[in-house]
Structure 1
């Protein structure tokens, strides 16, 4: 999770004040470096210099001397490596590696942002980028660059670029041998400029040429708002950007007009984002004055308490929140606030367990440092950060299906209604629902893009599929024939054993290719055990809200775990 922009600006000012110190260090130790390496070392010296700057203003000269000694040692090592390593080295890679190595000694979430990473982070937080408005996929250098879907209302969609189109050339340069990242770099550019793409379209004998003018493309963080049942709204938040709260309120108002009486808020797979947006989203459902989260750190300005400071837009709307192992940071703040105040029912799997706050320090216009400056606590006082002494285990948590969190009694806290909750290992759901792992057959089909390839081929023969498209025996036979034609290995028995999942993925890909990506989520929710369980739990969600209002009622024991 990244701290809000106001705090970032304050800290940024402090960093830029250390430039004179950095300059003196570079001047003092520059004699042991090659001239060409000086710009590359500036980033490392800036970090070291900021530490030295603090020392000069508040510590004894002995500490300053020690910091300068470390910087001198680093500069000497860098020079020795450049002079004596058996192959030519690139100073920028050496320095970036040194920075990353230093930050890894702190925690898993402090990290250096190079030009590409910093630009990507700013685009994500801004909620937009400049480009064509297409989702692309390239599974390898030898695979075609394929349009997964155009984004509604963007330049690509207005020109008629379709899902399944293969981009053969970009500005005359073949995409053969190109990676997805390299293709994205060519497709993106300043607003108002144009790019020429050559497209091969299934069913067309000749290639198509498109001259596309780049524009601002919104990357919505709130996706798939729709009525999943006549009285039940469904909203998925995939990350927390500068526009998340605004998008959420627009989605809620839309569903309100359609008769929403209760809501499923899906935070699964949401890795987090901006703290102020997590606070705003939480405050949408909690009454004014309720504590939402608080942070504690070492530096000035890091100790803050956050409260709902506006009247909640939906304080009484029955609420179920979906989480899983991919729910982290800002999404855990929302889930923790909802759970601690007994405002809604948390359903799914235990979340990631990230209780650290990063502040972003721009080092220049092209790079930055994301540094952990505080821990955050849920309203009941829980620190939900998972242990990261073993970094490999920490990172592998998302995919380790046998992992079972254990909760230390010392981390025990209580909700408003008196229910017991724990810190130290993420947010444990009130009702646990695990999803089954995909079979080897389904994994193979996904790895080879079989479902998407079938959708493109099917739509070329049946362009007007209805929104209620279903998986029939005839459709299954057409899918089987594609596997044979494309020489994708399978066993006949697998088509029957996995028919339900085949139906989900085929319907999802066909309808999203025809009507837009929003349909992918709608179809999959029909088969999703966590979503379907959530639909049955609104009576318990109402009971939970009553418990918060009357904590002596003893209703906690009746709630599902």
Structure 2
């Protein structure tokens, strides 16, 4: 996984449209013929392009002009129809397929003047086995300096066919020696489930990052492993999950629903767009008490699962109102390795809710800064669950229990500037052999304050944003900051999965979920549970 993904961010703007818009897509087939009228308009477009190329004040590259006009056309339709250039399409296929060939490292390069830095090697991958560590600075790839590379250029050099080798030069904080690693590339699974552990005795926790071709099998494996550790109830986390394959959302929901219960149905104008998806009755987890976590960045396939669970009163939905993407894309491969992700249908939850949020203002749709109570006010659809509870459509899935977990401004600033990460790298270099039982003491917190105060890059970061900062801000949020420091130190020493267990202890929504299983069981016992009648 040679890429950098911030734990508490989601792809924004166009990138989010790509990631979210592909959710629910299936590979499409034939292209329809164009009408005579359309042919005349295409002739006008060709004439226009010719004039631009021959008479514009500055030279215009045809590919750039044509791709720009394609994207402009699609923007007139909806936020999720999108043109995928070869690079975007390749990335989508890799993510949905579940693996690619590379080294297995998460890397960061915030800007061209910053070094290419390892955030974490992934356990069991070639980078992990070779001894790459969090905080390592990759100064060269195959003898080529990385400082002036973009992160995309670095990724292309790190990835490659399975079995091929790549040599990287590394400088390590606290080590004067320049290190050289020649690493053999291998298949790197892009697992959709990276965190699954016992958060409390009897309570399992599973986080689904997105829905790929392997999600259902991963979920089965993780649940079986947790049940062997004594799990009798489950927290299923879909926060910051932008979606994925429709069929995988159906299969995940199928694990928890009774035979013939509706999971989702789709409606569109092309042949085959109208489909119903119902539970097969083969689910192994029908009696497992379930609490599901969602937030404003849970979208598409995530909302299909949450909507089905909520409409059938199968579990309790906790967190924040979800994104509100109720559009299904079909992905049509094009020539020259590009593709079109075209909205071809809308999806509806079992009770008949259309989850799609209003997108008349694209800026408002992408910023998504509405409050939960405001989203309820604009919801135009009122429906009933199997047990008779009121639910709303037209603006995402509104949780049964709203729990807001805002990040304090000072913590957000420190995180965006990567201060927790950089401190962890330096702290670990100075304090060798930390035990797993270590805690962040007031002494460590003071050391962090001094570290941040001395970092000129942090002062520049604040100045560029016109933000003032004082040590009192850290004191006022000491417990949260201590948790972030510990999480970063654990991540650098023992990997992302161990770090997430630390994060769980300062995760307000997860901690609230632990107290809500009695309510989840009451829901599942409501009258009306059972196969849904025909629409």
- TM-score using structure 2 length: 0.90
Q: CA deviation at 1:323?
A: 0.4
Aligned residues: 500
- Choose between structure 1 and 2: higher helix proportion: 1
Q: 1:225 to 1:498 in 2, by over 3 A?
A: same
Q: Distance in 1 between matches of 2:165 and 2:379?
A: 60
After the TM superposition, which residues 122-521 of structure 1 pair with which residues of structure 2 at under 5 Å, given as runs? 122-364=93-335, 366-397=337-368, 399-400=369-370, 404-407=374-377, 411-439=381-409, 441-487=410-456, 488-489=458-459, 490-521=469-500
The alpha-carbon deviation at position 71 of structure 1 amounts to: 1.0
| Cα separation, 2, equivalents of 1:463 and 1:75 | 66
Note the C-alpha offset of 1:449.
1.3
Shift in Å, 1:549: 5.0
**2:376 counterpart SS class:** coil
SS at match of 1:542: helix
| Contact 1:109/1:371 (<8 A) preserved | yes
Contact 1:3 1:359 in 2 (8 A): no
Counterpart secondary structure, 1:547: coil
Using the TM superposition, give the Cα deviation of residue 109 of structure 1 relative to its aligned residue in structure 2, in angstroms: 0.2
Superposed displacement of residue 467, structure 1: 2.4
1:178-228 Cα distance to aligned partner (Å, 9 max, x none): 222221121111222211110000111121011111111011111210000
Q: Aligned partners of 1:403, 1:81: CA distance in 2, in Å?
A: 49
1:351-393 per-residue CA deviation (whole Å, 9 max, x = no partner) reads 0000000000001351000000000000111111011001100
d(CA) in 1 for partners of 2:81, 2:24: 16
Shift of 1:146: 0.5
Q: Where do 5+ consecutive residues of structure 2 fail to align? A: 1-20, 460-468, 531-535
Structure 1 range deviating more: 522-531 or 223-232: 522-531
| Cα distance, 1:402–1:426 mapped onto 2, change above 3 Å | closer
Question: Taking structure 1 as reference, are residues 409 and 328 closer, same or farther at Cα in structure 2, changes over 3 Å only?
Answer: closer
Equivalent pair of 1:135/1:149 in contact (CA under 8 Å): yes
Conserved? CA contact 1:147–1:162, under 8 Å:
yes
Question: Gapped runs of 5+ residues in structure 1?
Answer: 16-49, 53-63, 552-561
Q: 1:518 to 1:336 in 2, by over 3 A?
A: same
Distance of aligned partners of 1:388 and 1:156 in 2 relative to their CA distance in 1, 3 Å threshold:
same
How many Å apart are 1:469 and its aligned residue?
Answer: 2.4
Structure 2 CA distance for partners of 1:92 and 1:155, relative to 1, 3 Å: same
CA contact (8 A) 2:102 2:187 kept: yes
Structure 1: distance between partners of 2:452 and 2:371: 30
CA, structure 1 residues 278+365, in 2 after alignment: closer, same or farther (shift >3 Å)? farther
How far apart, in 2, do the equivalents of 1:301 and 1:468 lie? 56
Using the TM superposition, give the Cα deviation of residue 411 of structure 1 relative to its aligned residue in structure 2, in angstroms. 1.3
CA displacement at 1:477 relative to structure 2 = 2.4
Contact 2:242 2:299 survives alignment (8 Å):
yes
Structure 1 position 176, deviation (Å): 1.2
Question: Which fold has the larger relative contact order, with Cα–Cα distance below 8 Å and residues 6 or more apart in sequence?
Answer: 2
CA distance in 2, matches of 1:509, 1:209: 26
What TM-score comes out, normalization by structure 1 length? 0.86
Please state if 1:523 is matched with 2:502: yes
* SS of aligned partner of 1:206: strand
What SS does structure 2 have at the residue aligned with 1:192?
coil
Shift of 1:317: 0.5
Q: Which residue is 1:23 aligned to?
A: none
Cα 1:357–1:149 change in 2 (3 A) is same
